[in-house]
Structure 1
Amino acid sequence: MSRTHRLFQLMQALRLMPPPATAADLAQDLGVSPRTVYRDIDTLRSLGAVIDGSAGFGYTLIEDAALPPLSFDTDELEALVLGLREVGEVGDPALVKAAQTALSKLRARLPAAQAHRLEHAVLTARRYARMPEPGIDVSALRQATWDERTIRFDYSDAEARATTREVDPLSIVFMQASHCLLAWCHLRRDFRAFRLDRMRHLELTGASFRPRRVPLLRDYMARLREEMTPADPAH
């Protein structure tokens, strides 16, 4: 781990750990010695980060110089908290962690009164039904979708019928109680939705379908809206 990367990781740990974070806890999180943590804290302070505390008492990040000043009105702040907490409830493991990090970054740059409001926001999100675990690396799937790369995976439908699918991934959506991949399926030559918990053995084929993702997704969403529109009783 380079020193620059270690300093970045230390800032992340200070944002995420309940204050005050002890040098021992920080050292364990980073895989370094407490002495290294002491030196890195001094370096971060010299770079402008306001970090309260000292050896033996723990450290609290007061102001994060790496982030620009932020200001939100009350409703904006509630909306941000609600959105990030919803991600924490329904997101895949990587997005859950990203939502926690985003909240910690917001907290570090808000004025004291707004930071308090963020910590004790009125709105929240709770889902008590357990989300099915994805059967593939969702981060890799998101990257393939963004890069417009054709993928291949094994899939089991609701009747446990197994197939191998090659698809152009278009979007990942939360539907009812599971995450689904919206895609153009090469096998069916049509649009299909695939539950992530039924997918296995994701791999890239090496083929690109750029720049067709946006128009394909637009066509798929138009079809879904059409299917959900009630038929006119006069016809």
Structure 2
Amino acid sequence: MRTLPKPVTAARLAEETGVSVRSLYRDIDSLRAAGARIDGERGYGYRLIEDYALPPQTLDRLEIEALALGMAEVRAMGDPDLAAAAASVVAKVAATLPDDREQHLFHCVSKVYRPEARYAPAQHLGLIRQACWREEALTIHYTDERGSGTLRTILPLAIIHTERRLVVLAWCRLREAFRMFRIDRIVEARVEGGSFRPGRASLLRDYLEALESENATPATRSDA
């Protein structure tokens, strides 16, 4: 109900949640009993007026503009997982705003116009993101700018969004040093099975400190 066009029919909600329509009706009654303000009825559709599961937000107009602009930029990146997450964030925030602020969120002054996605689809982006979260080593087949391929085992630390490409910051076990790998040059990737937890935060801090001391940027230093 937060994300779908309103009013949302029971059939559509049942399809989204994977339950029967009869179960969906019971769920609506349970949510109302728990404090959710849900407008609508059977045969017409439902609209979430007030979400009891989320605290009310007191955002001013400029904060709403910043939120809407930031989430629109994320949706324009070309990462379908982050795009869906951005839409969910907007819907959750909207559910906690007064009516006038909710309308401002959906009809904000600040807009993003990007005819093409900023980044080309990255085949292994989801796996790399999960490995960063879980602090898991990855084995990658990497192709450098000359077309030469190497097999590396890396400890992925962070994904950097530069102007036109995605880069993973990592500790490379082959080089025994910090390295940057362009994600579009990773031909294959698999979880190695070894965990370096806890370690990502300290390794990333050391890497960023090294970059700062060398006056380098993620866009200029890489393991090409």
TM (norm. structure 2) is 0.85
Structure 2 SS opposite 1:72: coil
Q: Deviations over 1:29-84 (max 9, x none)?
A: 22333222222111111111111111121111111001111111122221122222
Q: Does 1:157 align with 2:137?
A: no
Q: Is the 8 A contact 1:52 1:61 kept in 2?
A: yes
| Runs (5+) with no aligned partner, structure 2 | 218-224
AA of the residue aligned to 1:41: I
- Determine helix, strand or coil for the equivalent of 1:218: helix
Within-5 A mapping of 1:69-218: 69-90=56-77, 92-130=79-117, 131-138=119-126, 140-218=127-205
Q: Which has the higher helix share?
A: 1
Question: TM-score of the superposition, structure 1-length normalised?
Answer: 0.82
String of CA shifts for 1:113-168, please: whole Å, max 9, x gaps: 11111111112333333321112151x42232233322112222333332221111
Deviation of the 1:228 alpha carbon: 4.4
Say if 2:4 is the partner of 1:17. Answer: yes
Q: Secondary structure at the match of 1:145?
A: helix
Query: What's the CA shift for 1:200?
Result: 4.1
Residues 128-137 or 78-87, more deviating = 128-137
Alpha-carbon RMSD across the aligned residues, in angstroms, is 2.1
CA shift, 1:222, in A, is 3.7
The aligned counterpart of 1:232 is none
The question of whether the paired residues in 2 share the 8 Å contact of 1:135 and 1:198 is answered with: no
Contact 1:182 1:194 in 2 (8 A): yes
Q: Percent identity?
A: 45
Distance 1:104 1:17 in 2: 9
Please give the alpha-carbon distance, in whole angstroms, between the structure 2 residues aligned to 1:91 and 1:67: 29
Q: Structure 1: how far apart are the matches of 2:16 and 2:135?
A: 35
Contact 1:134 / 1:198 at 8 angstroms: preserved in 2? Answer: no
The separation in 1 between residues aligned to 2:189 and 2:181, in whole angstroms, is 13
- Which residue of the partner structure matches residue 221 of structure 1? 208
CA–CA distance in structure 2, aligned partners of residues 187 and 129 of structure 1: 37
- Secondary structure of 1:126's aligned partner: coil
Aligned residues: 215
1:35 alignment partner, one of 5, 22, 39: 22
